[in-house]
Amino acid sequence: EAEVAQSPRYKITEKSQAVAFWCDPISGHATLYWYRQILGQGPELLVQFQDESVVDDSQLPKDRFSAERLKGVDSTLKIQPAELGDSAMYLCASSFSRDEQFFGPGTRLTVL
């Protein structure tokens, strides 16, 4: 069964360091989403891609966060520099059309 892949699963870093997360959506899924989930909360959308284009990045803290999906397939989310408040689960999801979003296993980030 096709799945959304994410790596790494866990990341521990010190504040002011740079971190990067990778996501490979289900093959054929044009839409890719990055969410941030703070402990005890529901996921919140950071950025949304349609193919290689950004559809919505209104909630992305652009001073430190960046996201790209250069070839319209896999995607990278970067944080530079990381802050203590960035500790969270980062979830990637993909969808084919207007169907449900399929989520990956997430990357759990801890900033020390």
C-alpha radius of gyration, the chain, whole number: 13
CB of 35 to other proteins, least distance (A): 8
Report the greatest alpha carbon distance in the chain. Answer: 39
Cβ atoms of 20 and 8 closer than 8 Å = no
Residue 31 φ then ψ, to 5°:
-100, 130
Residues near other proteins, by CB under 8 A: 30-31, 33, 40-45, 48, 50, 55-56, 89, 91, 93, 95-98, 100-106, 108
CB of 43 to other proteins, least distance (A): 5
Q: Which residue lies nearer to other proteins by CB, 57 or 68? A: 57
CB of 70 to other proteins, least distance (A): 18
